Amino acid sequence: MVDFLTDDRAKVLRRLLYVVAGFGVVLVVLGLPLVFGDYVPYGAVVLAIAVVLGVLAGVTLRAVRDRTAAARRLCIATGVATTVLSVLLVPIWVGLLTVITGIGLLVVTVAPERGTR
């Protein structure tokens, strides 16, 4: 078992990764009308971001669930990618929510474990 993945931290990380995957689904729903409408280039960018977030969330979720050694690196990579790619999503307001999720994922991953109560 990896030291940083305590039961409480793994639970919170799984929840945040489900949120990131949910944003991937929301971005597909928002990107399809853009592609079929007059905003094809931006719609393609939104769909590409949806695929990247969905794949990263899925891979990281599996690593956290299995408690692999790469789980911490994948959590950091997913948090950074979510935060950076959110900049491109700000025009449709979803970017503000995804950046908060990405930063939250980074904070939970990097923050030291709190003591027992």
Question: 46-62, pLDDT tens digit by residue?
Answer: 999 999 999 999 999 99
Residues 6 or more apart whose Cβ sits within 8 Å of residue 76: 106, 109, 110
Residue 95's domain comprises 7-109
102 lies in a domain? Answer: yes
98 lies in a domain? Answer: yes
Number of domains, the chain: 1
114 lies in a domain? Answer: no
For residue 8, give the amino acid letter.
Answer: D
The per-residue pLDDT for range 23-33, each reduced to its tens digit, is 999 999 999 99
Residue 1 binned pLDDT confidence (cut-offs 50, 70, 90)? very low
The per-residue pLDDT for range 78-107, each reduced to its tens digit, is 999 999 999 988 888 888 899 999 999 999
- Percent of the chain predicted with pLDDT > 90: 68
116 lies in a domain? Answer: no
51 lies in a domain? Answer: yes
For the chain, what is the total number of helices (H) and then of strands (E)?
Answer: 4, 0
93 lies in a domain? Answer: yes
